[in-house]
Structure 1
Amino acid sequence: MEHPIDHSRPLRVVIIGAGISGLVSSIRLTQRLPNVTIQIYEKNADIGGTWYENRYPGCACDIPAHVYQATFEPNHNWSEFYASAKEIHQYWKAVAAKYECEHHIKLCHEVVGATWDESRAKWEVKVRNTESDEIFSDSGDILLSCTGPLNAWMWPDIPGIHEFKGKLLHSASWDESFDWENKSIAIIGNGSSGIQLVPAMLPRSARIDHYIRGKTWIAPPLGSETIAKLGLNEKNKFSFSEEQLAHFQTNPEAYRAFRKDIEREILGIQAVTVLNTPAQQASIPKFTKHMQERLAAKPELASSMIPGFAPACRRLTPGPGYLEALVSPKVNVISEAIGSITENGIITKDGVHREVDAIVCATGFNTTFQPRFPLLGRNGMPLSEKWKKNPNTYLSMMTDQFPNYFVTLGPNGTLVGSLLLLIEKQVDYITACIAKMQRENIRVMTPRKSAVEAFTKFADKYFETTVFRTKCRSWYKGGSEDGRVVALWPGSAPHALKALSQPQWEDFEYEYSDGNETGWLGDGWTQAERTGDFHAWYLDDEHVDVPRLKGSV
């Protein structure tokens, strides 16, 4: 081989999506890998993914902002404990600018197809320019999907929905010019978006009809212990005072300790998810009391709101102000199923017709993990077919028959607590895989089918002992009541960090460039020798490992 042993083979990485995962990937690949070309295609007109697309009234993170940020780029200036979508989007814009991610990104470019070319060991990618509608081809040695599980919003399947003559909106495609002052509004859905929309739209609306398909637990605020210590107030959206912000800015160690306290508190949620533990059993009366107290002005709502299933079976949502909004005389909570939509309102299955000026669908996304475009692996295998019944993966990021393909936040790849830790660790793992391909002359890398099957069995066995397998309709189970848990990591956040800290290289199959398994040895020389820059680095202090003597400090 005509290259030194420490030569890094040049590789091209095509990344789909410039949300948080795409940005972190851009930063880490650039930081840690030489000889890598990165191209990110983003369908939207701006970066940010979820936090660019979701701009509905009240949109915010229901995880404390101080754990919903990059570990390497702490923000001491979050104005609220639960940051708004706008503030989160601005934070990631600043991160992207600081690390020059824009050099790798093409906005308004949507990937519409990807096919594995076995002969060239490359992914052939079809891309559509959304402004000109032009479709062109690109190729890469690695294909990395960073689209996330909640990026394809859907209208609800309700007869007559597009016959409505008033204003029809979806929470994930909000018309910011819409003015709901003194209008009657129907809000369909009580997932996290609906829970935020109701209190946000209530003050200016004339009336809200809130249609709820199923019962859901409204949790006390996540991070409530820290909130109490800081004396934050729900009435002002848990905003920080100028003195508190100044303290964070001038005391980095105190700020680090504050972040660690929140992390520990958030990670404690995991105990609630394990069946028959004291924490899980105590959560039911605790959450019931919380909801009953906040619904005290309309106690009859408790029976239609409080679920029979265990807390955390569906995604736990704190929803500050939501329950208080439901007891307002301007809010009508309707649990009767919707039958159809007319030109001027909604008819429930009991025959009641309610006229409204606008309908807001907070009805969620396609959560099946099906790719949004044709993605063909070996022998033309469509990923949509492979994952149709069982989206099985290896460690949530890879699957057999799809070489050199990685995904962040894929099946079994999200967490109950803070997601940012997992995103960073997944990107670290993927970076290590690409580095190995560069270092060891690897042309093709694929997880073994047996490793994929083993991880699937491990996940299923883990979830048997958790509340997620109890009967409730949840996107964790692809929108079903009792299906396989396909969204969550099978374990705690620290468990995921440990599992992804060091790849198990024996779980992969490899093909080498030119069929040469020893190609990584190069030509018998190192790069420094060939450039005349060799300086016996192995004698530098950081490379000399001095054994510690017994009794030494």
Structure 2
Amino acid sequence: MSIEPRAVDESRPLRVVVIGAGISGILACIRLNQRVPNLDLCIYDKNADIGGTWFENQYPGCACDIPAHTYQATFEPNKKWSSFYASSTEIHQYWKGIVEKYGCMRYIRLRHQVKEATWVEEESKWHVKVQDTATGCMCDDKANVIIQATGALNNWRWPNVPGLHDFGGKLLHSVSWDVDYDYSNQRVAVIGNGSSGIQIVPGMLPRVAHIDHYVRSRTWIAPSFAREYLEQRGSELDNYTFTAEEIKSFETDHQKYQDFRKKVEYELQSVHGMTLIGHPQQLSVKKLFVENMTRRLGKSHKLMDDLMPSFAPACKRLTPGPGYLEALADDKVTLIKSEITKIDRSGIVTADGEHREVDAIVCATGFDTTHTPRFPITGRAGMTLAARWKQTPETYLSVAVNGFPNYFISLRPNSGLGDGNLLILIERQIDYFTQCIRKIQRDNIRALSVKANAVQLFTQYCDSYFAGTVFADNCRSWYKGGTEDGRVIALWPGSSLHAMEVFASPRWEDFDIEYVNNNPMSWLGDGWTQNKKLDQINVDYLDDDRVDFPQPVEIMHSVNIQ
């Protein structure tokens, strides 16, 4: 056995490429630099700015449908959120501030789109082809590790409607919004009542002449979180702004801010039971939703007949939809349930024979949710990820795929949440990646690849788990790849608190490990430590603050007096 010419605590240099500078990519940048020494890091993003979905989505009313004080990094709380549900612009500015504070831009290359990634066995490295979208030039890169942080809801598409591109007016998509378009006093059609459509209708309503809202399926609108706080405050709408006095009180009274933040977080984390068939929360939640929707519809409560689904709440993505139900009750909005059959130059034709002329059509019709990779990713034996996921997109704990060594993914198959805090899950995924990369570095590993059996078992676990949840109910959802009765491929099989525990400690027994020079003992090095080689011996392990002092057991002696 050969002795590796390195100190036992010497950090092997590693090149890590991260694809995407959205929230996952930004958090990866911060944590990798914080925790992985001797790191050569590069983050590629196709866009002109950081932020991912919060840069791309600029449609009217775009906001997070999770309370802002929980939709933030745990280590960077923002006491200045102007709204309970922050706008996309404000969220984007928040993450730009984090990028600047932690110096991330030195690692991020904007307008650089990864076009191909191939694992080369002889080198135990990923070969990456990247295009500079400004010039069209291609360049090559190599990495020991790849983290794909491109997100799930990123590949938008037009709806498959005959004549869509024959329309003579303004055609818009929620993810490709023309911010210069003035829709004042226009007749507008909004197609879709998913999360984007639910925000666009009230977002456009104040300025338009009329909105025809085309709704293919029924949906539940959730009550707001922290409803008790809202009612005490006297807010009429669930979407409200914080006053200058409230923001100042958060800034000056940290305990008040923490109490509010933790209260909202507690509510966010305490509704998991409503997703489990037969749980008391699930049995009672429908009544709560009906009461909330009826109240918000006001005089137009009869619209409930057109809106209330037969499937259970949470089967589809839930949103509180601030202002949406109130907008449907407005005289300027017409709810249209009839199916769209075609579009011509002047408007939309529906199955009931009606032709409605409009000046603009807004497609809030979503994304490709099949998890098909947008560029070729080729692992061992020439297997592409597209082929690997053709039948079903399966993973190990949502973060790895067998046959693709040193490759980790964030927010792809089985990583979303039907309830709870998604930002916590993303942070813990990034923590998990840093642990894996540190092990690769520390133990002199050339290839860390999850076992096929571990992927298969996780897939079986997911199927068994979701069979007992409302997500398996008969509703068309992107959770199931846009189908009504397919596998649940988008969600984590459990709560976000459950995910936090799972990602806390990697199970190395679920991975195949191959070492540099095929030497499993190379991590021991040559018998030296780095400081010893430099004759800088350090014995500060004896300092009190470095010693882990156990608590002594106090033995109480009692004297019995006879």
SS in 2 for 1:204: coil
Name 1:298's counterpart in structure 2.
300
Name 1:202's counterpart in structure 2.
205
SS in 1 for 2:334: strand
Name 2:61's counterpart in structure 1.
58
Q: Structure 1 residue 295: deviation in Å? A: 2.5
C-alpha contact 1:190 1:212 (8 A) present in aligned 2: yes
Name 2:100's counterpart in structure 1.
97
Given the alignment, which residue of 271, 276, 294 partners 1:269? 271
Deviations 1:496-544 (A, max 9, x none): 0001101111110011000110000001011111122222132122332
- State yes or no: 1:538 paired with 2:541: yes
- Aligned ranges for residues 35-434 of structure 1 at < 5 Å? 35-229=38-232, 231=233, 233-235=235-237, 237-415=239-417, 416-434=419-437
**Residue type at the aligned position of 1:387:** W
Q: Structure 1 residue 549: deviation in Å? A: 1.8
Runs of 5+ unmatched residues, structure 1: none
C-alpha contact 1:64 1:222 (8 A) present in aligned 2: yes
Counterpart Cα distance in 2 of 1:252 and 1:20:
26
**Residue type at the aligned position of 1:541:** D
SS in 1 for 2:532: helix
Counterpart Cα distance in 2 of 1:221 and 1:550:
49
SS in 2 for 1:248: helix
**Residue type at the aligned position of 1:218:** I
C-alpha contact 1:17 1:40 (8 A) present in aligned 2: yes
Q: Structure 1 residue 546: deviation in Å? A: 2.7
Counterpart Cα distance in 2 of 1:100 and 1:152:
28
Name 1:508's counterpart in structure 2.
511
Q: Structure 1 residue 349: deviation in Å? A: 1.4
Q: Structure 1 residue 48: deviation in Å? A: 0.3
SS in 1 for 2:205: helix
Counterpart Cα distance in 2 of 1:100 and 1:331:
47
Counterpart Cα distance in 1 of 2:301 and 2:250:
42
Counterpart Cα distance in 2 of 1:265 and 1:552:
43
C-alpha contact 1:62 1:222 (8 A) present in aligned 2: no
**Residue type at the aligned position of 1:336:** S
- State yes or no: 1:487 paired with 2:490: yes
Counterpart Cα distance in 1 of 2:555 and 2:10:
40
Structure 1 length as normaliser, TM-score? Answer: 0.98
C-alpha contact 1:232 1:240 (8 A) present in aligned 2: no
Q: Structure 1 residue 163: deviation in Å? A: 0.5
SS in 2 for 1:259: helix
C-alpha contact 1:189 1:362 (8 A) present in aligned 2: yes
Counterpart Cα distance in 1 of 2:472 and 2:238:
37
Alignment length, in residue pairs? 552
Q: Structure 1 residue 236: deviation in Å? A: 8.8
Counterpart Cα distance in 2 of 1:17 and 1:456:
26
Q: Structure 1 residue 547: deviation in Å? A: 2.8
**Residue type at the aligned position of 1:355:** E
Deviations 1:323-360 (A, max 9, x none): 11111111110011100110110001122110000000
Q: 1:365 to 1:116 in 2, by over 3 A?
A: same
Counterpart Cα distance in 2 of 1:488 and 1:542:
43
**Residue type at the aligned position of 2:268:** I
Identity value in percent: 53
- State yes or no: 1:439 paired with 2:435: no
C-alpha contact 2:237 2:322 (8 A) present in aligned 1: no
Q: Which 4+ residue blocks in structure 1 deviate beyond 4 angstroms?
A: none
C-alpha contact 1:65 1:82 (8 A) present in aligned 2: yes
Name 2:559's counterpart in structure 1.
none
Runs of 5+ unmatched residues, structure 2: 557-562
C-alpha contact 1:127 1:136 (8 A) present in aligned 2: yes
Counterpart Cα distance in 2 of 1:396 and 1:552:
49
**Residue type at the aligned position of 1:253:** Q
SS in 2 for 1:550: coil
Q: 1:162 to 1:549 in 2, by over 3 A?
A: same
Q: 1:538 to 1:276 in 2, by over 3 A?
A: same
C-alpha contact 2:120 2:126 (8 A) present in aligned 1: yes
Name 1:17's counterpart in structure 2.
20
Q: Structure 1 residue 410: deviation in Å? A: 1.6
**Residue type at the aligned position of 2:283:** Q
Q: Root-mean-square deviation (CA), in Å?
A: 1.3
Q: Structure 1 residue 240: deviation in Å? A: 1.1
Q: Structure 1 residue 552: deviation in Å? A: 7.7
Q: Which moved more, 1:390-399 or 1:283-292?
A: 283-292
Counterpart Cα distance in 1 of 2:131 and 2:510:
36
SS in 2 for 1:169: strand
Q: Which moved more, 1:319-328 or 1:247-256?
A: 247-256
Q: Which moved more, 1:47-56 or 1:287-296?
A: 287-296
Counterpart Cα distance in 1 of 2:555 and 2:353:
83
SS in 1 for 2:117: strand
Q: Structure 1 residue 419: deviation in Å? A: 1.0
Structure 2 length as normaliser, TM-score? Answer: 0.96
Q: Which moved more, 1:537-546 or 1:381-390?
A: 537-546
**Residue type at the aligned position of 1:107:** L
**Residue type at the aligned position of 2:482:** G
Q: Structure 1 residue 119: deviation in Å? A: 0.8
Q: Structure 1 residue 383: deviation in Å? A: 0.4
